[in-house]
Amino acid sequence: MNAKTRKERKVETRKTLLNSATHLFVNEGYDTTLAAIADHAGLHTQTLISHFPTKADILTGIWQESLRSFEEAFLARTTDALSAYRAYIEASSLNFPSSGQVLPMAHSLPAITAEARRALFRVRELLAEGIAEDMAVDKTNDLRPTLIACMVFGGILHVSESWHGKRFNKDKYLASLLDVFDTAQAMLNRELVKG
């Protein structure tokens, strides 16, 4: 049996810390302490601080890991771009908390705004590139793939913000998100027929 290398243990520890932080941020809010995150992960606070000195660093790590996970899944897709992204959102819904509490929005945390925006921009760009492939067009000369990707993102943001302050219903929230994809798919299908 091979012992894990130092690098493998470091990656595993980092993932454990990010998972614990995500769980606590979602279920208890951003006021969760570093000590609580370390304790939930079964690690010492100093271990957490050696990986993530601040909560903003943890959130940056969460955004980076989310982007990496999405990019890996999206680039390995076996279906069209919108369907792949819809399936990713649907699969992610299994992790939606029933309370409706979600990770702090990028605009409310200036320390991570740049990283969050970079991650969201990359997802939107990947989606636009995938839609361009599906439409068999060059997105540098045809704005439709980018506009459709922006419409999807705007729709998702609208749905998320429309639930703010309301009694959360996980099933209705997911149905609203999936309606964004269905509407975008119908519009894309019309564009493909015209094209």
DSSP state of 116: H
Q: What is the pLDDT along the chain (195 residues), one digit of tens a residue?
A: 567 898 898 999 999 999 898 888 877 777 889 999 999 999 999 999 999 999 889 988 888 888 888 899 899 999 999 999 998 888 877 666 655 555 444 445 555 667 778 888 899 999 999 999 999 999 999 999 999 999 998 888 888 777 766 677 778 888 988 999 899 888 878 877 776
Going by C-alpha positions, the residue among 155, 161, 130, 148 that lies closest to residue 189 is 148
The pLDDT of residue 103 = 46
Distance CA 95, CA 73 (A): 17
The pLDDT of residue 141 = 93
Distance CA 178, CA 172 (A): 10
What pTM value is reported for the model?
Answer: 0.78
